Amino acid sequence: MKLASVRIIASDIRAMVTFYELVTGFRADWLAPVFAEIVTPGAALAIGSAETVALFKEGSAEPRANRTAILEFMVSNVDAEFARLKDQIAVVHEPKDLPWGNRTAQFCDPEGTRVALYTPVTDAARQRFAGR
């Protein structure tokens, strides 16, 4: 099994796609007016408008309701990425080192989902991510 993508349901799909294009540096592929994907080397981030929920089961997902997931993107230099983004998007916290060997900064997307950018900084963390 391979994790292929994560999908976010958005009340304002255009704002969300613009945000994630800015953060990732990748352009979205609009597969329908209500659905876009940003494909990165590791996986895809899919963004569907709220109206796509009815295609599956009405009420099964809700925009702006996430309070558990943090989308994480590994970057080569979290401090440089933080400097690039800090004046353009909502900052949750500035770069800091975490006990498991990553240096991370966290932002908030336009609908409240937390987005972390991180760089492995210890030898153990760099080894853990070497094959990913």
List CB contacts of 103: < 8 A, sequence separation 6 or more.
78, 79, 95, 96, 97, 118, 119, 121
Q: CB count, 10 Å around CB of 49?
A: 19
Determine phi and psi for 126, rounding to 5 degrees: -60, -40
- CA atoms of 55 and 69, how far apart (whole Å): 23
Instruction: For the chain, give the percent of residues with pLDDT over 90.
Output: 92
Place of tokens 């349901």: 9
Tally of helices (H runs) and strands (E runs) in the chain: 3, 8
Q: Summarize pLDDT for 25-63 with one digit per residue, the tens.
A: 999 999 999 999 999 998 999 999 999 999 999 999 999
pLDDT at 14 over 90: yes
The whole-number pLDDT of residue 15 equals 98
The whole-number pLDDT of residue 132 equals 81
Dihedral through CA 45, CA 2, CA 61, CA 91, nearest 10? Answer: -40
Report pTM.
Answer: 0.93
The whole-number pLDDT of residue 131 equals 81
pLDDT averaged over the chain? Answer: 96
Q: CB count, 10 Å around CB of 55?
A: 10
